[in-house]
Chain A
Amino acid sequence: DIQVTQSPSTLSASVGDRVTITCRATQSIGPYLAWYQQKPGKAPKLLIYQASRIEGGVPSRFSGSGSGTEFTLSISSLQPADFATYYCQQYHNYPWTFGQGTKVDVK
């Protein structure tokens, strides 16, 4: 299986901060990486697909980049609604696998 590792596991930030989360895959996955946001007690929500394509309805402060084995999710100016846990997911090889998650909390 392809493993994906996120860093950091926890990120403490303030409203207005620029935030960056990294995801690394154990082998090349091309652009087949997605990012999801999950809030407590809720299902995950798709934010980014194909590494950099933003899902409809997702605020433009979210962006994704990368290809191959290294990817990033950035939030340009953190808003109160953005405090949540973020997961990357590779869908290049089955079984599709998720990173362990990055919790963004209040500094």
Chain B
Amino acid sequence: EEQLVQSGAEVKKPGDSLKISCQGSGYFFPNRWVVWVRQMPGKGLELVGIIYPDDSDTTYSPSFEGQVTISADRSSSTAYLQWSSLRASDTAMYYCARLRGSRPDVFDVWGQGTMVIVSS
């Protein structure tokens, strides 16, 4: 079964750093683009950015450029989303998802989501 499994929920304080993960299985992870999508509480879906795990080619959505870092480790079939200094406004559910084919394409496999809560 092709799947993406994300790391567990996190509760952090403003200013903390954080790295969450998304591990793929059941398919050849390096040559399928992976996206990160944010969903703030009670709100819609926003694309954070996209990475090609084979060479770590990464593109951020303008709203997230400089705010987060996306990376990948092809040897462990894992993509990451990280913050160096969290803000309360980063509180959200974060999903990773796989692109079906080459850019542009749709998101056909999704992780279960990682809830990030930032509160003092």
Contact = CB atoms under 8 A, between A and B. Distances in A.
Contacts of A49: 100, 105-106
Interface stretch (B9-17, B40-48, B77-85): B40-48
B95 A44 contact: yes
Contacts of A100: 44
Nearest to A96: B47
B110 A43 contact: yes
Nearest to A44: B110
Interface in A75-93: 87, 89, 91-92
A55 B113 CA distance: 21
Interface in B28-73: 44-47, 59, 61-63
A101 B44 contact: yes
Interface residues of B, number: 21
Give the residue among B59, B62, B95, B106 with the most A Cβ atoms within 10 A: B106
Contacts, number: 52
B106 A91 contact: yes
Contact of A98 (B45, B63, B110): B45
Contacts of A43: 95, 97, 110-113
Contact of B104 (A45, A92, A98, A99): A92
B42 to A, nearest CB: 10
B108 interface: yes
Contacts of B95: 43-44
A99 B105 CA distance: 17
A45 B44 CA distance: 14
30 contacts: A1-B62, A32-B104, A36-B45, A36-B107, A43-B95, A43-B97, A43-B110, A43-B113, A44-B45, A44-B95, A44-B107, A44-B110, A45-B110, A46-B108, A49-B100, A87-B44, A89-B106, A91-B104, A91-B106, A94-B59, A94-B61, A94-B104, A95-B61, A95-B63, A96-B47, A96-B104, A97-B47, A98-B45, A98-B46, A101-B45
